[in-house]
């Protein structure tokens, strides 16, 4: 079923929201294509929760918040919390892969591009419709995670964070736009619990070295030894579950991973 207005062109603007292609029918990616690059420094106009308390989870995980009571206070211990965040989730491949691996864990994808976010929303709705009882634990939000991560997550809330094939920003003057940097690792460490794991992967060697180097230098992260990584079912998904990952595999490219654990500082 094609969309009435042939939506390939035009910048900005929403994607296929409101277009029902038949319950359970997956959205067609080619109507949601956007440039791979988006400028994280420009402030686009999407709503940001003022604080994690204002982040309404019932919009994202209706099955878990049946009364629509999605905004929880800090003291509300029983309310389920998001535990995994995929920063720059693209077309949602990783989230879909993780959803069935961890069916009781709430996860969210964060994506800057409007059309791509719409695609992921549609994809999740379609998956939920055609697989009742599944995929209720994943969702996506359009946001700039380099500026607003603390608005969505409380201290030590996440047990996993993912940075798959981030924009390399090759030019030196643009290195400060990289999503992994010493400065931003402070914030990621803040929203992650001690023992939480940060997964990064790229096919750009220089970026891989950069990310590994930042993580090694940062006092709140420690490398996870290879042997332990073998036991982690998530690791394989990094290179196989996403669009980027599949593209790299098709082209026979190499990938560079840096997987670290959030630790607490030794008291001096």
Partner 1 sequence: MEDAAVEEAEVSGAAEFAPALVAAHPLGHSVAVAVGPELRVFDLKDGSAVSLSDNSGGGSHSDAIRALSFSVNGVLFTSAGDDKLVKVWKTDSWCCIQTITSEKRVSAVAISNDGLYVTFADKFGVIWLVTVGQSDGGQESTDNKPVSIFGHYCSIITSMKFSPDGRFIATADRDFKIRVTLFPKKPLRGAHEIQSFCLGHTEFVSCIAFTCLSEGPSFLLSGGGDSTVRLWDYINGCLLDTCQIQDKVGELLEPNETEDSNLAIADICPTNDGSLVAVAIQSLNGIMLLACDLIAKKLSFIKVITIEKCYIPTSLASSFSADLLWTVMGASNMPNQAASQLLTRVKIIPHFKKDTLASADHVPTVLEDSEVPHGEKLLLALQGSLDIAKQEEVLASVLAALKVSMYKMLVKKHYSEERREQRKRGRNDKKIKK
Annotated catalytic residues are 167
With b for 16 or more beta-carbon neighbours within 10 A and e for fewer, the 192-214 pattern comes to beeebbbbbbbbbeebbebbbeb
The nearer residue to partner 1, 17 or 39, going by C-beta atoms, is 39
Environment class of 51 (CB within 10 Å of its CB; exposed 0-12, middle 13-18, buried 19+): exposed
Among 9, 10, 50, 77, which residue interacts with partner 1 (rule: CB under 8 A)? 50
Query: What are the backbone angles phi and psi of residue 234, rounded to the nearest 5°?
Result: -75, -35
Residues 9-48 that bind partner 1 (CB under 8 A): 12, 39, 41-43, 45
The nearer residue to partner 1, 36 or 41, going by C-beta atoms, is 41
Among 22, 219, 225, 233, which residue interacts with partner 1 (rule: CB under 8 A)? 219
Contact 262, 198 (CB under 8 A): yes
Q: Taking the complex as a whole, how short is the minimal distance between the CB of residue 87 and partner 1, in angstroms?
A: 13
Number of other CB atoms surrounding residue 259 within 10 Å: 21
Among 220, 237, 258, 259, which residue interacts with partner 1 (rule: CB under 8 A)? 220
Environment class of 92 (CB within 10 Å of its CB; exposed 0-12, middle 13-18, buried 19+): buried
User: What's the token pair of residue 228?
Assistant: 């332990």
Among 147, 193, 229, 232, which residue interacts with partner 1 (rule: CB under 8 A)? 147
From 86-94, 97-105, 179-187, 200-208, give the range in contact with partner 1 by CB under 8 A: 179-187
Q: How far apart are CA 84 and CA 185, in angstroms?
A: 16
Among 107, 146, 207, 234, which residue interacts with partner 1 (rule: CB under 8 A)? 146
- Asked whether position 194 contacts partner 1 by CB under 8 A, the answer is no
Q: Which parts of this chain interact with partner 1 (CB under 8 A)? A: 12, 39, 41-43, 45, 50-52, 74, 146-147, 150-151, 155, 172-173, 182-187, 189-190, 218-220, 265, 268
């Amino acid at each position: 079923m094609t969309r009435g207005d042939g939506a390939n062109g035009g910048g900005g603007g929403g994607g296929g929201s409101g277009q029902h292609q038949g319950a359970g029918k997956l959205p067609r990616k080619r109507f949601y294509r956007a440039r791979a690059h988006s400028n994280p420094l420009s402030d686009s106009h999407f709503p940001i929760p003022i604080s994690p308390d204002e982040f309404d989870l019932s919009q994202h995980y209706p099955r878990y918040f049946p009364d629509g009571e999605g905004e929880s206070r800090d003291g509300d211990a029983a309310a389920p919390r998001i535990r995994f965040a995929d920063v720059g989730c693209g077309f949602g491949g990783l989230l879909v892969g993780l959803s069935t691996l961890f069916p009781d864990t709430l996860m969210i994808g964060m994506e800057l591009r409007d059309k791509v976010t719409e695609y992921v929303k549609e994809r999740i709705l379609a998956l939920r419709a055609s697989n009742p009882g599944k995929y209720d634990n994943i969702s996506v939000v359009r946001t700039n995670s380099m500026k607003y991560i603390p608005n969505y997550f409380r201290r030590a809330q996440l047990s996993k964070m993912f940075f798959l094939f981030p924009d390399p920003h090759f030019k030196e003057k643009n290195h400060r736009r990289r999503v992994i940097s010493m400065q931003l690792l402070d914030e990621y460490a803040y929203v992650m619990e001690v023992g939480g794991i940060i997964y990064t992967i790229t096919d750009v060697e220089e970026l891989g070295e950069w990310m590994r180097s930042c993580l090694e230098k940062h006092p709140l992260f420690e490398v996870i030894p290879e042997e332990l990584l073998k036991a982690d079912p998530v690791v394989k998904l990094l290179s196989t579950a996403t669009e980027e990952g599949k593209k790299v595999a098709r082209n026979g490219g190499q990938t560079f991973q840096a997987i670290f654990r959030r630790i607490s500082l030794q008291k001096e």
